[in-house]
């Protein structure tokens, strides 16, 4: 997704209408939800568990007649091209579907979703893309257009030959999703574990890889102190200035880290633990037994940025920090820096253990044969650093 700045008051007007219509559509869908009693089914590894006890499950209205009524209603108040109404309806359904999924998993409350961010998602039928001129024409009203061009942008060369997807309008910019049709040959896999002050990787080609995150930590630590001082003196505007600066520095660091990793490891799949699942997996168990992950480090943002720049895969974090990679024995306790398998005597620095288990999970998922030279690769190590203020990686 690449941004192109625009300054056109029509865009903001369109977004304002779009959001009103979107919330209206969500209202109408919400009012027409059919709450059905169901026996919820939970699928878990080929087993389907049906929970005894009925639950009220929301079914979204999807009949043709309902959709027609919804469309007609929204069209009453639409000064724009009709396709914008269809764009609104589609976005409303996707918001409701994702709310429904989260609700059934117990992650969302029974409250109607509210749209908070200002945006308008376009439809392909509202766009005319000229790949020769690198221009996109977006229909506002029949016969009235907004034009954006991606020629001579900083990313122009990078997206050469790629296809354009549905753009998103923001108040001051247009976000263009480019899709590459290139086929990327994967030559390397790296499994990453997030540790307290480092990102620890394992790759069957490179061995262990260690990315030092201390510069990020110390930067954040300094800002924490500065913010505390500003807060204690009641200097709100200065406090906010520090918040914004810290965020910028953090983003800058993570961007450089992600770019650096892509350059250092081309054609690589990066495997991460699914942090969303973390709470679910170790539920109930004492959280102190979890590997220490520094709360100061923005792991989710790091994962997100890397996934924007490289190919990433997620695996479940279950037992990755206490399984013996050689014999598969799951060890109960986790003490000391060194992991020692009680069954086969395998020894490894605990910080490196999870990354190799994450790799093994991934290769199992893909049906890779478990190669014998894995233990040989485990003797290799690569240290990687990311500088904070530009310069060499």
User: How many whole angstroms separate alpha carbon 36 and alpha carbon 32?
Assistant: 12
* Phi and psi torsions of 51, nearest 5°: -75, 125
For Zn ion, the closer of residues 258 and 348 by Cβ is: 348
Name the residue nearer to Zn ion (CB basis): 78 or 329.
329
Angstrom distance (rounded) from CA 75 to CA 67: 12
> How near is the Cβ of 267 to Zn ion at its closest, in Å?
32
**CB of 330 vs Zn ion, minimal distance in Å:** 10
CB of 342 to Zn ion, least distance (A): 8
Which position has the token pair 């390397």? Answer: 188
- Which residues, numbered 165-194, are part of the site for Zn ion (CB under 5 A)? none
Q: Which is nearer to Zn ion, 55 or 344 (CB)?
A: 344
Region 338-357 residues binding Zn ion, contact defined as CB under 5 A: 341, 343-344, 346
> Minimum distance between the CB of residue 326 and Zn ion, rounded to whole angstroms?
5
Q: Which CB, 299 or 346, lies closer to Zn ion?
A: 346
Q: How many residues bind Zn ion (CB under 5 A)?
A: 8
**Cβ proximity to Zn ion, 130 vs 375, nearer residue:** 375
Q: Is 326 near Zn ion (CB under 5 A)?
A: yes
**Least separation in angstroms between CB 329 and Zn ion:** 5
Could you give the angle at the alpha carbon of 83 between the alpha carbons of 79 and 88, nearest 5°? Answer: 85
To Zn ion, the closest distance from the beta carbon of 323 in angstroms equals 9
Shorter beta-carbon distance to Zn ion: residue 185 or 332: 332
Q: Is there a contact between 325 and 355 (Cβ–Cβ < 8 Å)?
A: no
Confirm if 253 and 216 have CB atoms less than 8 A apart: yes
Nearer to Zn ion, 50 or 327 (CB): 327
For position 329 contacting Zn ion by CB under 5 A, the verdict is yes
DSSP state of 333: -
Residue 17 in contact with Zn ion, rule: CB under 5 A: no
Contact between 314 and 272 under an 8 Å Cβ cutoff? The reply is: yes
Kindly give the interhelix angle for 236-264 and 214-232, rounded to the nearest 10 degrees.
Answer: 170
Nearer to Zn ion, 1 or 330 (CB): 330
Shortest spacing between CB 378 and Zn ion, in angstroms: 13
Task: Specify the stretch interacting with Zn ion by CB under 5 A; choose among 138-146, 148-156, 199-207, 325-333.
Answer: 325-333
Cα–Cα distance between 155 and 248 in angstroms, integer?
21
Binding mask 284-323 for Zn ion (x = CB under 5 A): ----------------------------------------
Between residues 251 and 347, which has the closer beta carbon with respect to Zn ion?
A: 347
Give φ, ψ of 309 to 5 degrees. Answer: -105, -15
**Torsion, CA 340, CA 346, CA 347, CA 348, rounded to 10:** -110
Among 327, 330, 338, 365, binds Zn ion (CB under 5 A): 327
- The nearest distance, CB 201 to Zn ion, in angstroms, is 22
Measured at the CA of 36, the angle between CA 32 and CA 38, to 5 degrees, comes to 155
CB neighbour class for 122 (10 Å; exposed up to 12, middle 13-18, buried from 19): buried
Judged by CB under 5 A, the chain residues 75 through 104 that form the site for Zn ion are none
Shortest Å distance, C-beta 322 to Zn ion: 11
Helix axes 82-104, 9-31, angle to 10 degrees: 50
The nearer residue to Zn ion, 114 or 337, going by C-beta atoms, is 337
Pairing of strands 311-315, 338-340: unpaired
Return the range that interacts with Zn ion (CB under 5 A); candidates 121-129, 198-206, 269-277, 333-341: 333-341
Query: How many angstroms separate the CA atoms of 343 and 192, rounded?
Result: 26
Task: List Cα–Cα distances, 186 to 202, 221, 264, 355, in angstroms.
Answer: 16, 38, 14, 19
Closest distance of CB 345 from Zn ion, Å: 7
Residues lying near Zn ion in the complex (CB under 5 A) are found at: 324, 326-327, 329, 341, 343-344, 346
């Amino acid at each position: 997704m690449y941004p192109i700045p625009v300054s056109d008051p029509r865009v903001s007007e369109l977004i304002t209408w779009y959001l009103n219509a979107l919330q209206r559509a969500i209202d109408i869908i919400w009012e027409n939800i059919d709450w059905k009693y169901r026996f919820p089914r939970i699928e878990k590894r080929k087993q389907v568990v049906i929970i005894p006890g009925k639950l009220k499950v929301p079914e979204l209205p999807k009949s043709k007649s309902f959709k027609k009524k919804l469309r007609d209603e929204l069209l009453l108040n639409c000064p724009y091209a009709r396709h914008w109404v269809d764009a609104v309806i589609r976005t409303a359904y996707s918001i409701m579907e994702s709310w429904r999924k989260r609700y059934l998993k117990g992650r969302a409350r029974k409250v109607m979703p509210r749209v908070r961010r200002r945006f308008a998602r376009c439809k392909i039928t509202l766009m005319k893309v000229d790949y020769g001129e690198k221009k996109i024409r977006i229909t506002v009203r029949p016969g009235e257009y907004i034009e954006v061009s991606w020629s001579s942008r900083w990313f122009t060369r990078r997206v050469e030959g790629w296809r354009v997807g549905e753009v998103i309008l923001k108040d001051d910019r247009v976000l263009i999703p480019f899709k590459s049709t290139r086929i990327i040959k994967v030559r390397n896999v790296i499994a990453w574990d997030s540790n307290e002050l480092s990102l620890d990787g394992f790759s069957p080609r490179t061995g262990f890889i260690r990315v030092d995150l201390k510069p990020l930590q110390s930067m954040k630590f300094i800002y924490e102190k500065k913010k505390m001082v500003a807060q204690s003196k009641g200097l709100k505007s200065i406090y906010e200035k520090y918040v914004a600066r810290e965020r910028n520095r953090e983003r800058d660091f993570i961007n450089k880290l992600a770019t650096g990793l892509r350059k250092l490891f081309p054609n690589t799949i990066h495997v991460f633990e699914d942090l969303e699942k973390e709470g679910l997996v170790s539920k109930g168990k004492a959280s102190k037994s979890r590997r220490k992950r520094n709360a100061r480090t923005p792991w989710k943002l790091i994962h997100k940025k890397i996934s924007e720049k490289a190919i990433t895969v997620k695996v479940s974090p279950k037992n990755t920090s206490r399984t013996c990679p050689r014999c598969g024995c799951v060890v109960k306790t986790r003490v000391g820096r060194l992991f020692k398998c009680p069954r086969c005597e395998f020894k490894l620095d605990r910080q490196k253990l999870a990354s190799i288990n994450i790799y093994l999970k991934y290769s199992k998922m893909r049906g890779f044969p478990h190669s014998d030279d894995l233990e040989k690769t485990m003797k290799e190590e690569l240290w990687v650093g990311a500088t904070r203020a530009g310069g060499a990686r």
